[in-house]
Structures are given as structure tokens and as C-alpha cells.
Structure 1
């Protein structure tokens, strides 16, 4: 329910925040602040629903030849730059030192159970929408990266951890790239299905959500 709520509302909240951007600030700072506020508003509204559970979020905003990537949780964005995989996000996991330090500073703890690091012995991610019982430590504030879309930026893969737990960044790019060599004839659906199937064949039992965006149409020359 958290995932469905975010899918329905997150982009609208970000759009509303972009419409409210003030002049005088740098465009980059404005966009980052708008996206952050969109995530926080979505989280606040979901918590008001009184529903337990939570979801990771990953968004891509393309505006004026710029790519704005934001994430809260362990979904990941990977770009193909002339066939070389480039991770644009960093997973928010309790094993990440800065996230572990943040949680401990707030009075929480992380521990490793059967090889998996968890917040308060429960959740395997440190950021996301919802999870109200852990909200003191599991924040909804995203990390954001803004970059210009250059001619060597081929396509972007957005995937949940069900994909990345079994398929490396470079393997995903290598599997999808043959279907993107012709910008006007790229087969996005087949590429997504190929990545899902590869993850399943390797034993993934987690949810596998994949979206691929062809970047050739948004290049800044």
C-alpha cells in the first residue's frame, strides 16, 4: 500500500513543489529542494493514513537537458555511458557507514542478523516512505544528483533491489544495451523483461521492478 501510495502521489507532489520554486536561488538548489520537499510531503501524507509498512523510492526528473536522480532506500539508478555502467545513486542500507552513524547519533542501533544489516533489528533499509514505527531513524529525505545529459549518456536503468541483488550494474547495462543501439528503434519493453528474467533465473525472490529510459532524445549538445 505504501508503494501504491507513493506511485500515485510522489510525482504530483514533486511537480507541485517545482511550480512553487522561488527565483533568486540557483536552479540546481531549487530543483533539489523541490524534490526533497515532494518526498517529505508524500511521507507525511502517507503516515496520516495510519497504515503500517513502507516503501523505497527512486525518481528521475528530466528538465532542460538535465537529469535529476533522487532515491530513498535501496532502489538504484544506473546509467550507460557509452556502454560503461555508472551508478547514479547509493543504496541506503544500515551497512553504509554514514547511515549507520546517523542512526546511532539519533539513539538507534543497527545489527547484523544472518548476514543482513537491519535498523533496530527490523528493517534492511535506512530511508524510505512510511515505516512510521521507525520514523525516528528511517527518514524519507532523498539524496539527489543533477547532471547534464551529454551525447555519451545512452540510457538509464531504474530498478528495485530484486534486480540489483542478483545482477551487477555492468551486467545490466551489457544485457540491455544491444536493444538500444538505434535510438529510434530501441525496444524498451524487451530490455526491461530481459533484466527481470535474468534476475529470476539467478534466484531472485524479491520484487523486481525495472524501468529503462532512453536518454538520446534529451541530449544537450
Structure 2
């Protein structure tokens, strides 16, 4: 069966029975925790989505966190639709580099949000696709997963971040697109914009997002993408909005949950620590733990 999280809520969706001789346990587990942080925020504009057995493929996974601003329309659209756009593109040509597919999906989302949604909302986004790379000569009847590479592909715009804990050390897989970044500042200025007080035209702290049509070509939806092979030295992923990263460093976050085995409890712990450290934003944390026992 294919199990899918709808934005901010657990849910299930059947994609037809999968014939197996024995039940299959996923090689990863997902935990999510969130907090509006009502002391500082009147609304919750974060959205998260994950899809187990993504694209109806055994042990694939899709993980996404979207941090909305100027409303939640953009983040809600991404939470509800981006994985479907990505799945369609991947299935249309499985030989394509998934990083290219992610780039196309982000570009489509940016254009669709700007053209079809009311208001001027936008959202940062961090997405990961976990899948097994199957050789061309593999049998379609029986594929032993331990024969093939487990690959993780990521894409992000804005400052929602993905951090991999590898052999106890943090490895950042995303790039923070902030107006305080010199390269992003130069790009904005070359496009005719201004960076004032580390904000695009004095208003928006991020330089890349999905939506934000008010900023036209200054704030773009082209993502930073990566690919990495997941091996037995990799313990878990942390995908979180800046509500976490504003107050907790990458390595610190890894250290806080390194001895935990329950993904949900790990995500809750990181949210609690962010609130304790004084974050003033909505907080959403997704933890993906890898099972390396087999």
C-alpha cells in the first residue's frame, strides 16, 4: 500500500495491493512535529508532506517542508500538489536525472502559484526524494534492494534546510537563499533590485521561493539541488524551516537527537528545543531515520 501524509495531517491512500510473500518494513521512518509559536505568530503558515512508497515504488520516499509567508496559499498548494507534479515527471522518463526533474517541478510550481493563486503569498521549500537506483538489466520480478544504491535527491529554495547526519557529523544538503548572502545579493541587484537591511527591496529576507509574484524576477524559484548516496554511515535527515535553524546550528541539532530511535520523538525534541532557545517563528521539523540493521 502507499501511505501518504496530507499537509499537517496523517492520512492513507490505497494504490492497489502489492503482492509479497511477507510484509515489507520500510528502510526508513518519518516523524514530524510542529508548533505555531502563538506567543509570536498569529497564524501557522508551515506545511509538510511525506509520501511512503513514493510513485508506488517499494521503499521510495518523498519528504517536503514548506514555510509560507504573506499568507499560506503557496505553502498549502505545495503541500497538496508538488509531490504529484514531481511523481508525474519522474514516471514520464525514469532515466532523467532526478535533480533536473526537481528543477522542472519547482519551476512549474512557481509559475502556477503566481498565475493561479490569489494574493501575493510565497513559500520556501525543501524537498527530498529517496529511491533505489535499479540497474537496467535487473529482473522486474524480483529485485533485492541490498544489491542497489539508495540515492537521496534534494532541492530547496529559501532558508528551509535539509541536514544529513553522517557518521555523527552534520552535512548540509541545501543552500540558504538569503538576501544577506553575497552571491544572492549580487543576483538580485543584477536583476534590478535592491537589498536593504538584508531584505529584497527592504521587505523579503529570502531571495528564492515559490510564488511571491510581487517581486517578479527578483525572487526566483530555481532551486539548489544535490544528490547523495545513502549508506550505513547515515543515521538520519532533519528537514526543517528556519524556525529551527535560526536558533540551533546543524551539528547541535544532530547531537540533540543522535541517541534517539523514535523519529516522532526526535522531531518533538527539536521543536521543544527551538522554542526553549527563543525562536520567534512557526516551527516545523521532519526527521527521517534510516534503518541500517539489515
The bucket for the TM-score relative to the shorter chain is 0.7 to 0.9
Aligned residue runs from structure 1 range 129-208, under 5 A = 129-179=210-260, 186-208=261-283
Q: Greater relative contact order: 1 or 2 (C-alpha under 8 angstroms, separation 6 or more)? A: 2
C-alpha spacing 1:217/1:44, structure 2 compared with 1 (3 Å)? farther
| CA apart distance, 1:135 | 2.5
Q: Is residue 2:107 matched to residue 1:40? A: yes
The answer to whether the 8 Å contact 1:13/1:39 transfers is no
Choose 1 or 2 for highest CA Rg: 2
Q: Is residue 2:177 matched to residue 1:105? A: no
In 2, distance between residues paired with 1:15 and 1:99? 30
| CA apart distance, 1:105 | 1.0
Q: 3-state SS of the aligned residue for 1:89?
A: coil
CA deviations 1:70-90 (Å, max 9, x no partner) are: 100100111111111111111
Task: List 4+ stretches of structure 1 deviating above 6 A.
Answer: none
Runs of 5+ consecutive residues of structure 2 not aligned to the other structure: 1-72, 133-149
Alignment length (residue pairs)? 204
In 1, distance between residues paired with 2:268 and 2:208? 28
RMSD of Structure 2 on Structure 1 (CA): 1.6
In 2, distance between residues paired with 1:148 and 1:83? 16
Higher helix share: 1
| TM-score normalised per structure 1 | 0.88
Runs of 5+ consecutive residues of structure 1 not aligned to the other structure: 180-185
In 1, distance between residues paired with 2:84 and 2:91? 11
Q: Is residue 2:169 matched to residue 1:94? A: no
| TM-score normalised per structure 2 | 0.67
Q: 3-state SS of the aligned residue for 1:67?
A: strand
CA deviations 1:7-52 (Å, max 9, x no partner) are: 11111111111122375xxx5xx21111111111112211122322
The answer to whether the 8 Å contact 2:164/2:237 transfers is yes
